[in-house]
Structure 1
Amino acid sequence: MKKMQASPIYIPTVSNDTDWDFCFHLSPQTPIPAQQQTDEVYPTYGSEESEEDTAVQEEEAITDYMSLPKEKLVQSQKKITQLIKEKMTIQANKELIRCVILSRIVFGEEHWRCAQALTNLAYGYLVLRGLPAQAKKHAESAKNILLTWKGNASSDKEQNEILEALVMLYYTLGVVWLLQNHGREAYFNLQKADKHMKELNGLTKRGICGLYVSEKDLTIALGRASLAVHRLNLALAYFEKAYSISVSSFTEVSPQTAEASALLAKAYAMSGKPQHRDAVETYFIKSISAYQATLGSEDYETLTTIEEFCKWLVENGDKQDAYKLLKASLKSQIISYGDCSKKVAETFYNLGRICFANGELRKAIQLLRKCLMIQIFIYGSEHNKSKETKGLLTQLQRESNNPSKWKKEAIQGKKNCICKGTEA
């Protein structure tokens, strides 16, 4: 059995960070530095106060000055939590930048609190904005500071927060490497995240600004990284664990459990072992059913999982079941993507190829004609996709006038046809 191909992942590359740069431009309202304020409020010349009194007053003045950034930092963290709940990701990310700036003012660049804020920002760029380049940059900036403070924490609470930050930092780096197809580096960083999570001794992870890495998130990432380094048995173990976590935390019919089921199905499919065939089918069906029940038949995750299941069915000779599933999902695809969309063209193409493999010539021609009409509308008649479909149609129309030759071609087609997925 051929291995299932992973969908390509777009990695945005941004040479500069305009949000970050903008937030560092000082405004006219920037507070006067603490020392300057102190000199103006408590001038030393002509004073009859003792040096000790002056020192106390200076300390009080600095404390008053610093209270404003501290208050703003707390407010900003609360605001981020609310923005994330409201799915206002860009605004949340800008608040994370402000938290870094305020943390630098309050604690200094080399303090673990500042590194914690940088780690939150890195994670935000990854999960809120989908910008791994920025995520990696800020995570690397925070790493050495956190590792330095890890062994020098002044309290258990401080130590736990540093560990939480390290879990997030290594998770972020691991996922970034995974997205960039560097399996070994991804696995290495995710293992470190797992080690630090275990150091937390099962304590409740509060997270800062509403951001945290759950055990499920980390387990799934470790499973994906295991697949990337071709450790299938380990990947299956992680995905089985992620499935159990999802069922216990969210019930069996939930988007989280649906995701875990799909991952398990794909991992078993990649093994290519006949004894895993039933497991592949079982978990794909569980995933599709859970997605349909919770997100609906028109949801992207539902339709994508159906496509992947159909691809596996065709590769394993179950063309009729694949045809029925694809045909049943066509209406939902049209609702979600539109009549003239790439996804709908792809489905017509796959349906046509299944009919071709089954020797249903007329039906294959009808379906491929629909596919070609959409492709010409989207890409134009000279695009490679349009030319490929047109060439196949021409061949089928020619063969339809030669039944004996067509019968021979159809038999060969049954042996060779696969569902090409993204090739439509």
Structure 2
Amino acid sequence: MDDMNNRCGQQEMRTEIFGTPAIKLTQALKRAEKFTKGKKMRQAHRERIRCVALTRIIYGKGHWRLAQALANLAHSYLMLLGFPVQAVQHANSAKGTILIGGRPPQVPAEEMKQILSTLLTIYYTLGVAHWMQKNGKESLFNLEKAECVMKELQQTELEETTEQKISEEDLAAALGRACLLQNKPLMATRHFEKAISAVISARGEMAPELIDLYQETAHIEQVKKNHKKSIEYLLQNATLRAHCVVLTVHTKFSPQAASAALLLGKAYAASGEQKDAEMAEMYFNESLLACKAALGSGHSQTINALEEFSKWLVHMGKREQAYDLLQESFMSQPDLCSDFSEKAAERFYIMGGICLAEQKVKEGYQWLSKALDASNQGFCFQIREEVGRAFLDHTHKSHVIRGCTMERNGSRIQIEFKKLDESDFISSYRN
């Protein structure tokens, strides 16, 4: 066995030194596929770079094969390394190469299919890369072009000679996300439903790819303010199956299970109906427990689940429980520097508001002051205004506390503190 491995190694070395560019290109393509399947992303990407250099030597600058190599490299930058800027640069180079060269007048049908497949990879890569950079217009433009190319590709009656990089469900899901970024929820829903149908027809109802698709579709319904439809879709059509997939593919306490539970909790909470309150609390608790078990108390996903749960508790009048939950998050975090962040400022802010609603003005002032110290400039003005009111409260013994608004990542949260009588304050938030 050792002798055989040595002979194989010597043969590869001979090929590397004395082989022609065409032989070296074939070997580089095989290694790229091998490394990709083995999840060795850096090595696979290196081989893609080598393929571009060898293809340029063999075919020249204007050949569609060079465009194919550049498109594969751009796709590698995007999917293997997550670098959208470099992906756009190389995809544009590939597009320029293939479009300037034009379609050859008499190209074999099999080569024509590879040319179309290259165009599909180019436009898909450009679309997803622009989406990652929050450029919705360019993303949707390129993905719609990719959709047209895919339709033309599906009309060809040739057998598959190479594995298709972009599947129908990948493209449909990307179109859905781009439409959502462009504030087109109806179009986004149609694309996500198409992606779900494609996954089910190809891999069945228990395919793990359905998890994200179900959750994103339910999120769109929430964006459209169709809270009842969101819950109905989550429970009857999607999330029960997604939840089963999560628990089948992953463990019960996993980030995926936590994400599914949090989405269900938010859907029930957004319905605004009293009968859904118990279900909302159950799923919020389930999400928080799963996050803590899988990721730890200091992870950003855990903090996000905790914040959503605490805001809902405040809204339901369970201020003491929300306060204890938020205080526990600071005691359990390992890094003391985590107190000085925007996420920490938001938690300090909520705790200060709870104290004000409970007429604990001095303590509320202290928490809001901490929020001011931890916040960045974009969050600073609203907190400074509330700290000023709390300071007046503390010095003049006044209990007239007004509402305030904070905005983060496009989400608008309004917290109101209203005096009902000398001993009864309520606090609520609207999302």
Q: TM bucket by the smaller chain?
A: 0.7 to 0.9
Compared CA separation, residues 119 and 363, structure 1 to 2 (3 A): same
Cα deviations by residue, 1:83-108 (Å, 9 ceiling, x for unpaired):
11111111101100000011111111
Tell me if structure 2 keeps the 8 A contact 1:99–1:117: yes
Alpha-carbon deviations, 1:174-205, whole Å to 9, x = none? 11122222222222211211111111226578
User: 272, 297, 301: which is aligned to 2:256?
Assistant: 301
Q: Which amino acid aligns with 1:409?
A: F
Residues 136 and 176 in structure 1, CA contact (< 8 A), matched pair in contact too: yes
Give, in whole Å, the separation in 1 of the partners of 2:103 and 2:265. Answer: 49
Deviation of 1:334 after TM superposition, in Å, equals 1.8
Give matches, 1:26-65, under 5 Å: none
Query: Residue 292 of structure 1 aligns to which amino acid in structure 2?
Result: L
Whether the 8 Å contact between 1:250 and 1:256 is mirrored in structure 2 is no
2:187 pairs with 1:234: yes
Larger radius of gyration: 1
Moved more, 160-169 or 228-237: 228-237
**Are positions 1:160 and 2:118 aligned together?**
no
Mark the CA change 1:180 to 1:339 in structure 2 (over 3 Å): closer, same or farther.
Answer: closer
Choose the corresponding residue for 1:131, options 66, 79, 83. 83
Match of 1:106 among 49, 54, 58: 58
Residue from 271, 278, 283 that aligns with 1:325: 283
Identity value in percent: 28
Equivalent in the alignment of 2:233: 279
Question: Are the structure 2 counterparts of residues 150 and 339 from structure 1 closer, same or farther at C-alpha, using a change threshold of 3 Å?
Answer: same
Q: Which residue of 1 aligns with 2:40?
A: 88
Identify which of 367, 374, 377 aligns with 2:325: 367
Secondary structure of 1:409's counterpart equals strand
Matched-pair contact (CA < 8 Å) for 2:288–2:305: yes
Shift of 1:376: 8.5
Q: Which has the higher strand share?
A: 2
Q: Matches of 1:180 and 1:306 in 2, distance apart?
A: 28
Distance 1:284 1:88, change over 3 A: same
**Structure 1 residue corresponding to 2:292, chosen from 334, 340, 346:** 334
Three-state SS of the structure 2 residue aligned to 1:255 is coil
| Deviation (angstroms), 1:280 | 4.6
> Residue in 1 aligned with 2:392?
none
Tell me the CA shift for residue 71 of structure 1.
Answer: 0.9
Q: Does 1:256 align with 2:209?
A: yes
1:180 maps to amino acid: Q
1:405 deviates by: 5.6
Contiguous gaps of at least 5 residues in structure 2: 1-14, 361-418
**Runs of 5+ unmatched residues, structure 1:** 1-28, 32-64, 419-424
Aligned-partner Cα distance in 2 for 1:382–1:257: 37
Distance 2:341 2:132 in 1: 29
Please state how far the C-alpha of 1:312 moved relative to its aligned partner.
3.2
Match of 1:4 in 2: none
* Residue 409, structure 1, aligned to residue 425, structure 2: yes
Distance (Å, rounded) in 2 between the aligned partners of 1:320 and 1:407: 28
Alignment of 1:72-221 (within 5 A): 72-147=24-99, 148-200=101-153, 201=155, 203=157, 206=160, 212-221=165-174
Tell me the distance in 1 between the aligned counterparts of 2:75 and 2:49.
Answer: 12
Partners of 1:387 and 1:192 lie apart in 2 by 43
CA distance in 1 between partners of 2:29 and 2:106 (Å): 22
Counterpart CA distance in 1 for 2:144 and 2:126 is 11
How far off its partner does 1:146 sit? 1.7
- Residue 81 of structure 2 aligns to a residue in which SS? coil
Distance 2:157 2:34 in 1: 24
Q: Any conservation in 2 of the 1:266–1:280 contact (CA below 8 Å)? A: no
Q: How many angstroms does 1:392 deviate by?
A: 4.0
Q: SS where residue 209 of structure 2 aligns?
A: helix
Over aligned residue pairs, what C-alpha RMSD do you find? 3.0
Residue range with higher mean Cα deviation, 219-228 or 243-252: 219-228
Higher relative contact order, chain-length normalized (CA < 8 Å, sep 6+): 1
The structural deviation recorded for 1:367 is 1.1
Q: Say if 2:304 is the partner of 1:346.
A: yes
**Cα distance change, pair 158–128 in 1 and its aligned pair in 2 (3 A):** same
Q: Per-residue displacement from partner, 1:367-392 (whole Å, max 9, x unpaired)?
A: 12102324684535454544553454
TM-score of the superposed pair, with normalisation by structure 2: 0.73
Give aligned pairs, total.
352
2:257–2:290 contact (8 Å) kept in structure 1: no
Q: In 2, Cα distance between the equivalents of 1:226 and 1:301?
A: 24
Q: Aligned-pair distance for 1:352?
A: 2.9
Amino acid at match of 2:48: L
The 8 Å contact of residues 291 and 302 in structure 1, kept in 2 or not, is answered as yes
1:51 corresponds in structure 2 to none
Task: Evaluate the alpha carbon distance shift between residue 70 and residue 395 of structure 1 in structure 2; reply closer, same or farther with a 3 A threshold.
Answer: closer
Q: Verify the 8 A CA contact 2:21 2:58 in the aligned structure 1.
A: yes
Displacement of 1:248: 1.2
